[in-house]
DNA sequence: GTCTATAGCTGGATAGAC
DNA sequence: GTCTATCCAGCTATAGAC
């Protein structure tokens, strides 16, 4: 029986510093580099505090994932309700740093059940939200939902852009320009020129 | 100066057992579970032998990646020279277990430079091979390379199928059936009904 | 809330017997 | 080729001082 610390100072400054440090470590050196000692050192504080705030390393990873998931979900909602939801979807999927984090969590999930369950339920929520909005959007664009089910559009955009990001992380970009041009020309046909701010840039402030 | 053991009994039985054990561990529990002790135990042998055959854990990972890469490259060549290269590409990309391994290596690459470099050069080789073959294949199919550059077809097939695999690993399969149907209907238009053996099944023997 | 100290474990890597 | 023994580092987690 662990003591119930979940609600203890969710907005504590130290707590946030620890989460930020864990995130940076995970992106820069992979999840295996995220130990209580290294996180604490990077946050300029003490390793024991990780256990004070999160009970265990598992708890830390879980909270880190949840924090990111909530941000992504909120951004996604914003983007989908904009005047150019397809551009929004495409640009949002292009965020490099959040993608690197995602890849680490996917690998982590391979041996941490709690993470696995969390990613699963979050992904479903995410997808349901995309589907609901895009279904009506694509209908107003006059897309035949028999020939092009909304789910296929979403999966193509998500799949292609994640794949390009993964490859780019290894300096592989053969044919990427062609691929981007092709996708964007199709989006342009439906929503015209991109008018929203490139989210990949807006996210540099995170 | 390490002693040059690279060529020492590349076909040794124990060596192969160690590589197999490392592969299984990596798929089942993630790369962090791959330690010299655990690999040796799973292989039914001794931890010191890892260092005898591979010099270091880094060396083990590198050899494991290379072995898989060579197999994939060979299979890819076979598939691309078949009568239905598009079906081959699509089916080969659907191999679940090799995909799980790939994801682990990608995460590993985040903090092992040697792995990173190896994945990078292998990916480029892989892509170049696909491009070369598919360029002429698509031309014979009468595909306009201006409108649909060969690289885009390849990237779409690879990206979509990896994305579906990743999601399925988390029990997320919303819209997957639609996506598969759409891709396969386009392939069918070009190459007719699938006549080759489903590679995902053929690979169960590995 | 934050720290030190420490128990207990697992890991990479090497030396040397056989 | 294969094994045991061993060193040293780093990890999770807890107890307890402040």
A155 with B179: Cβ contact below 8 A: yes
Q: pLDDT at position A100, please?
A: 86
Nearest residue to B161 (alpha-carbon basis) of B206, B205, B96 = B96
Please report residues of A whose CB lies closer than 8 A to that of B176.
151, 155
pLDDT, tens digit, for every residue of B85-133? 999 999 999 887 888 899 999 989 988 999 999 999 999 999 999 999 9
Q: Is the pTM of this model over 0.85?
A: yes
A26 CB less than 7 Å from any atom of strand C: no
Measure CB to CB from residue A127 to each of B104, B107, B174 and give the nearest one.
B174
For residues A95 and A205, is the Cβ–Cβ distance under 8 A?
no
A175 with B31: Cβ contact below 8 A: no
Best probe of the A interface among B24, B27, B29, B32, by most A CBs < 10 A, is B32
B10 CA: distance to closest CA in chain A (Å): 28
Copy the structure tokens of residue A174: 């053969």
pLDDT, tens digit, for every residue of B150-182? 999 999 999 999 999 999 999 999 999 999 999
Question: What CATH class does B8-55 carry?
Answer: mainly alpha
> Rounded to whole angstroms, how far apart are CA atoms B33 and B14?
20
Q: pLDDT at position A118, please?
A: 97
Q: Quick one: CA torsion of B130, B127, B157, B78, rounded to 10 degrees?
A: 40
Diameter over CA atoms, chain A: 58
Distances (CA, A) of B10 to B42, B57, B115: 20, 17, 20
B55 CB less than 7 Å from any atom of strand C: yes
The C1' atom of D4 and the CA atom of B46 lie apart, in whole Å, by: 10
Q: pLDDT at position A204, please?
A: 52
Q: pLDDT at position A198, please?
A: 60
pLDDT band for position B10 (cuts 50, 70, 90): low
* pLDDT exceeds 50 at position A134: yes
B149 with A110: Cβ contact below 8 A: no
pLDDT band for position B65 (cuts 50, 70, 90): very high
pLDDT band for position A8 (cuts 50, 70, 90): very low
> Rounded to whole angstroms, how far apart are CA atoms A16 and A10?
8
A160 with B160: Cβ contact below 8 A: yes
Mean pLDDT of A134-159: 97
Nucleotide nearest A49, from its CA to each C1': C2
For residues B130 and B80, is the Cβ–Cβ distance under 8 A?
yes
Distances (CA, A) of A71 to A28, A102, A185, B94: 20, 13, 29, 32
């Amino acid at each position: 029986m662990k003591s119930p610390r979940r609600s203890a100072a969710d907005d504590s400054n130290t707590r946030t510093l620890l989460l930020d440090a864990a995130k940076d470590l995970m992106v820069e050196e992979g999840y295996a580099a995220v130990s209580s000692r290294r996180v604490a050192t990077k946050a300029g504080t003490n390793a024991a505090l990780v256990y004070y705030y999160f009970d265990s390393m598992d708890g830390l990873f879980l909270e880190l994932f949840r924090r990111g998931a909530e941000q992504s979900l909120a951004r996604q909602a914003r983007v989908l309700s904009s005047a150019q939801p397809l551009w929004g979807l495409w640009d949002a999927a292009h965020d490099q740093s959040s993608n690197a984090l995602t890849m680490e969590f996917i690998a982590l999930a391979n041996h941490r059940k709690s993470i696995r369950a969390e990613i699963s339920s979050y992904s479903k929520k995410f997808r349901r939200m995309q589907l609901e909005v895009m279904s009506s959007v694509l209908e107003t664009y006059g897309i035949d939902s028999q020939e092009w089910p909304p789910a296929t559009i979403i999966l193509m955009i998500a799949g292609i852009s994640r794949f390009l990001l993964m490859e780019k992380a290894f300096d592989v970009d053969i044919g990427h320009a062609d691929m981007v041009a092709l996708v964007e020309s199709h989006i342009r046909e439906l929503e015209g020129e991109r008018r929203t701010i490139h989210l990949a840039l807006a996210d540099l402030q995170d």
